[in-house]
Amino acid sequence: MVCIAPRYTSSVASFCRLLGQIAAVASPYMIGYIVQKGTKEEWQIAFYVMTVVLFVCGAAFQFFGSVTVQEWAKAPSPPTSDSRLQPSNGSANAMLLPESGIKINDSEKSDIKIEN
């Protein structure tokens, strides 16, 4: 479960356990439906049904399953660039205070420019 949705491991694992518990509750009723008289042939049919179900589920996972992180489970990517934090005059040492619009340039410490 950790492989396909690391951020949602607990939710995915809980859902899988829920399905397993439903099968655990339903299987005695299914076996009781198949095995009515308790003969050897009825028990063989019950075990064949369980074997087929297990093999079909395993084969479906082998052919269609994936262990790559799913798109819905990926963390949102941070923004690539923020224009408010880029210096407007091309100076790498400029600092822009986004809330006030005051720009302080290291090369011109005596000059404080107010931008609106």
Average pLDDT over residues 45-52: 95
Lowest mean pLDDT among 4-8, 25-29, 82-86: 82-86
29: which 2 tokens?
A: 């009723």
**Considering the entire predicted model, what is its pTM?**
0.53
Question: pLDDT tens, 55-98?
Answer: 999 999 899 987 788 888 888 877 665 555 555 555 555 555 55
The proportion of the chain whose per-residue pLDDT surpasses 90, expressed as a percent, equals: 41
Those residues whose C-beta lies under 8 Å from the C-beta of residue 102, and which sit 6 or more positions away, are 112, 113, 114, 115
Helix, strand, coil percentages (3-state) for the chain, rounded to 5, are 55, 10, 35
